[in-house]
A = this chain, B = another copy of it.
Amino acid sequence: MLPFRHHVFICTNRKPDDDGCCAARGSEEVMQKFRAEIARRKLQSEIHVTPCGSLGTCGHGPNMVVHPDGTWYSGVTVEDIAEIVEQHLLGGKVVERLAWLDNEKLHQTIADNRAKSLAKKQA
């Protein structure tokens, strides 16, 4: 049995030299408000929210992933939080306008970012 109905991870990675990273795009505020929304609705024993490092979809953030279904969201703002909580976490329906619906495209984006990051380290 799952310990939590949903476990939400929100990227709060900050790259000092990259204004396209999640933190530079406001993910820390998304994280704080998401947690506050879960606490306000007394859902902490059902929905666990954890900050995380890069999910690999850098440049599209703020990024988050919802488990166990593995839904990947990008471009999430504080205005989207209520909709994700209500429609997806409580209602079971993915917010399609923010989700990666094509796994192949998601994998390619992550692989491209990994290659870019590796090249940068080796430069």
Q: Give the size range of A's interface with the partner.
A: 20 to 34
Q: Is A60 an interface residue (CB 8 A)?
A: no
Q: Which residues of B contact A3 (CB under 8 A)?
A: 70, 72, 100, 103, 106-107
Given contacts A45-B107, A103-B1, contact A7 B65 (CB under 8 A): yes
Known: A70-B7, A107-B3. A52 touches B51 (CB 8 A): yes
Q: A79: shortest Cβ distance to chain B, in Å?
A: 23
Q: Which A positions have Cβ atoms within 8 angstroms of B? A: 1-4, 7, 9, 12, 44-45, 48, 50-56, 65, 67-70, 72, 100, 103, 106-107, 110-111, 114
A107 partner residues in chain B, CB cutoff 8 A: 3, 45
